Amino acid sequence: MGRGRGPFAGGPEQARRALVAAAEECFLSYGVGRTTMDDIAKRAGVSRPTVYRYFADRDALIVEVVSRRSRAFSGHAREYIDSRLTFAAKLVDGLAFLIDGGRKDPILRALLRPDNLGAASGILSSGNVAENLTFEIWEPILLEAQASGEMSRDVDLRELCALMADVEMMMVGREDLFDPDGPGARELIGDFLLPALV
């Protein structure tokens, strides 16, 4: 479909943005499990084949939704993390900040709700999507901590980012597992994850 014609006159990127927005609305309205490509096409005002022209399937749309929302928030997260003076503060406060941001994001909360968490986390884990997004934020911070001696040099950064991504998804999607009077994300990260790294 050329620029200036059809339902997406702004070209492929505008089309992808419009379909992502339609998918987000459907995920909120129907839930991730019940949203179909037909629902997304109707919401976007296009045919189902048009949706498939830009996204191979619903899983690809979920990946795109999470990637775009994560990258939109990552700039704020990096500024917040960089404002902390020690690696311990960067890790504990930074992960807590990202978890809090995920809990406040209605789309991420919808994707990671208990009834959707298995499917969404499987999609995000199978292609290392969550790990890669986490690595984008944390790689320079972790490398700096290793270079300064604040973090063990033996830690595999990719494996650590995969673990951090799993922790984030679980803590965003399963708030129900945490006692409101018990330790929060910051305390749990400080007590269990941080000691394994320093």
Among 40, 55, 70, where does a domain finish? 55
The Cα–Cα gap between 60 and 187 comes to: 35
The pLDDT of 105-131, averaged and rounded, is 76
Same structural domain for residues 18 and 96? no
Nearest alpha-carbon partner for 7 in 36, 49, 44: 44
Same structural domain for residues 98 and 191? yes
Say whether pLDDT at 78 is over 90.
Answer: yes
Same structural domain for residues 73 and 155? yes
pLDDT digits (tens, 9 = 90+) for 150-176: 999 999 999 999 999 989 988 888 777
Same structural domain for residues 86 and 135? yes
pTM of the entire structure? 0.82
Q: Please classify residue 28 by burial: count the beta carbons closer than 10 Å to its beta carbon, then call 0-12 exposed, 13-18 middle and 19+ buried.
A: middle
Instruction: Output the pLDDT for position 118.
Output: 63
Same structural domain for residues 115 and 80? yes
Instruction: Output the pLDDT for position 59.
Output: 87
Instruction: Output the pLDDT for position 1.
Output: 41
The amino acid sitting at 25 is E
Same structural domain for residues 119 and 100? yes
The pLDDT of 130-148, averaged and rounded, is 95
Instruction: Output the pLDDT for position 6.
Output: 54
For 189, the domain range is 62-197
Same structural domain for residues 121 and 50? no
Same structural domain for residues 1 and 22? yes
Give the CATH number of the domain where residue 7 resides. Answer: 1.10.10.60
Q: What separation in angstroms does the CA of 93 have from each of 46, 48, 68, 100, 117?
A: 43, 43, 23, 10, 24
State the chain's mean pLDDT as an integer: 87
* Band of pLDDT at residue 3, cut at 50, 70 and 90: very low
Residue with more model confidence, 10 or 159: 159
The Cα–Cα gap between 24 and 56 comes to: 17
Same structural domain for residues 95 and 138? yes
* Band of pLDDT at residue 41, cut at 50, 70 and 90: very high
Same structural domain for residues 118 and 189? yes
Same structural domain for residues 49 and 81? no
Give the count of domains, the chain.
2
Give the CATH number of the domain where residue 139 resides. Answer: 1.10.357
Say whether pLDDT at 125 is over 70.
Answer: no
* Band of pLDDT at residue 2, cut at 50, 70 and 90: very low
Same structural domain for residues 165 and 92? yes
